[in-house]
Structure 1
Amino acid sequence: MQTDSKTSQKAALVFGGSRGIGAAVAKRLARDGFAVALTYVSRPDKAAEVVASIEAAGGRAIAIKADSADATQITDAVATAVERFGRLQVAVVNAGLYQGAPLEQFRLETLDQMLSVNVRGVFLAIQAVAAHLSDGGRIITIGSNTAVRSGVVGSSVYAMTKAAVAALARELALDLAPRGITINNIQPGPIETDITADVLEMLAKRNPLGRVGQPEEIAALVSYLSGAESGYMTGASLTIDGGWTL
């Protein structure tokens, strides 16, 4: 992959990069030599911590406030990243929303919100970034193993949105292939983040490997998919869940 003439450093954009998996991805890409732009919605303090951590290690990073439910904020975030770091080589679409409830209790407003962020927002992010991605670049979506099977009452809508992401990555691979751009989807299972903090023990007991995953393990797979060695893989969904869906 070639870098833009504006900078000799590779550039990456991580949608939803302030916490959990997104923060680990941003730090790993910075370690891999990318200048990293990351978006956040509600926690500027966490986004600033990620930027500070990257800069303390000698990297370059910026945080951009952008709601993945807002098409204009998505396109503006891409424009800001390109203005700061030049043409992008990697885009990671991690922004997502989970709210669960049984069928009879699921509210229409929640359904619309989850579709807006988890499906519409993912498509719009890919669409916006594709025009600014170098030929031979990489797009990675962060889906969920619930696209395969959740086994949990109340997760139906979330599972539906993540199955849509898997289908989107598979089909957009055809659109992007003529430019040598690959797009792949990672489907994590239970990961230790602030969202799972209260149920870690239960999740670990249920998982065949007897533990939950770490954000850095997902980031390592992103690193592989961002590099030259993964250039023949596109349209794939890779489940990494400790055997949860077996």
Structure 2
Amino acid sequence: MSSTEFTELHNMVDKLCTIFSVKRPQVHLFESSVPVIFTVGSKKKSHIIVSRRLLDLMEDGELEMVFARELARIKEGNVTQNTFVALVAGIIASFSTIALWMAMLTGFGQEDDPAPKFIRFVAMGIVMLPCSLIVYAGASDSILKADIGAVRIMGNNAVMSSALKRLHNDILLNSMEYFNPGHVHLYAMNPVKANSFFDIHLSLFDMKPSLSERLISINETNVVAGQDKIVRNRTNLTEV
């Protein structure tokens, strides 16, 4: 991501790295109509990947919070583990797409024709269960930790709640792109959706806490005079 074109964003990341006391990650931009942000890398170097849609969708405060959430995940130290799981699970999950393309190349029709779609459906049935088990067993369960960690350090749970609801609603209404389900544990909000019967196996990867659970955890977390304090107040959840 060009430092001259995205000067304000780079300055924001620099400030957040100072706040979280983490080594500065490299930030990458990719074109997508789905608001996606995730972190991969190793202990030596982390990379935050963000879609153009997310940059266009988020308000300034919300954008800062979703980046703060990624830095909280880096601070946890599980980026290397999650990246390795994504590599292994992603390769396994990709066999269903390979089956689709092989069916098309061998003369079974186009991508939307019944034959290649059915072949892909069968391939998904074979590979998605072991793929989902790898993600369940191997990935660090840090969704709520990252939400709460960012809120505790940044001290603004209302903005984090607003950012997650905006991501959730946009993905729910507009997401039609295919994302590798083996990478689902990396995303701030799950973009993997079962858009048809032939995608029913993708429901195995609906493994993140629900939006309601995440909002409850966020709204119960507050920072007072630099101390973490749990505030039991769920009246703000009526919007969910």
* Band of TM-score, shorter chain: 0.3 to 0.5
* Structure 2 length-normalised TM: 0.33
Q: Identify, as 1 or 2, the structure richer in helix.
A: 2
Q: Identify, as 1 or 2, the structure richer in strand.
A: 1
Larger Rg over CA atoms: 2
